[in-house]
Structure 1
Amino acid sequence: MSPNRATTIAIGVGAVLLTSVAGYAVWFDYRRQTDKDFRRKIRKQNKKVSKVVEAENSAKGARTQQDLISAIIEISQEPTPTTPEESEKYFMENVAIGEKLSTLGPDAYVHAATSFYRALRIYPAPAELMQIYEKTVLPPVFAIVKELIGIANVIAQQSSRPAEAGIDGGEGEEDEEAMIAALQAAVAGAGRE
């Protein structure tokens, strides 16, 4: 088989494929424009897909918010460094961890943001550090850090009036789940304001 014959066959096969794709596109467009049942079927498929995507996103969002609330509770129970040297070491370690985790991709963003929040929590000038974070931290991670701050503020407000929030400060897994549920309701209510 000569090179010219192989080229001719390849061009012929390519032309047939291109013609069939173009023909299918024309048929699909004609059918979409003229057949009401076909349009309904397409709309139903689009609605199913969008419902599935929406359900996945809302489940992911609820899980992330619960993760953030749990992280804030865990961080608030951690002891804070007492000496300036310990504070500096704690700050540098958490910033380094946050930077490493933020390079790992979206799955690690929550953990990266909690590390940045730990560093922010002990920093003497948090407003200045937030401005630095805004310029240096990835935008999705920075948004999570801001969300952590908002959740921490809601928790601080709710802990100042535990009876209203439905938080009794008891021990145990059921009490922790009730506290998380009450905090999620409070955070959702604060987010609507």
Structure 2
Amino acid sequence: MSSLTPSTALGIAAGVCGTLFLGYCIYFDHKRHKDPDFKKKLREKRRTKKASTTGKRTTTNFPNMKDHEAVQRFFLQEVQLGEELLGAGDLENGVDHLGNAVAVCGQPNELLQVLQQTLQPQVFHLLIQRLPQIAPRIVAQERQMQEDDVE
């Protein structure tokens, strides 16, 4: 009889473990796909993921513009979130939040002057480009609130 060398035995053991792991993965993947709710859960998960990556622009709940305190809280919250996101390197969402703050600000020109002095030029330019997209969202939400009040 020939004896196995340690490296051969280790290779065989690794092959057996790899085969067992692959079998385990295939078994549970098959079991998961046979679940009647699998496709529904998968679609919902994809919808949620898509909404989280692109939905931040559309899911902002603007305050009632007639409620001064709510507008002020929203303004401060959006400025803080914008600064945090910009600091973390998330320019797109940071600019969106700062744009929301500018949109509800009582003196947007003064705020834009401050932001122009404090933000990097390319970030400020991106903010200026986004501003025209924000106003229609506020108007649409106000209209929706008025329709809800009527019902």
TM-score range normalised by the length of the shorter chain:
0.3 to 0.5
- Normalised by the length of structure 2, the TM-score is 0.47
Normalised by the size of structure 1, how large is the TM-score? 0.37
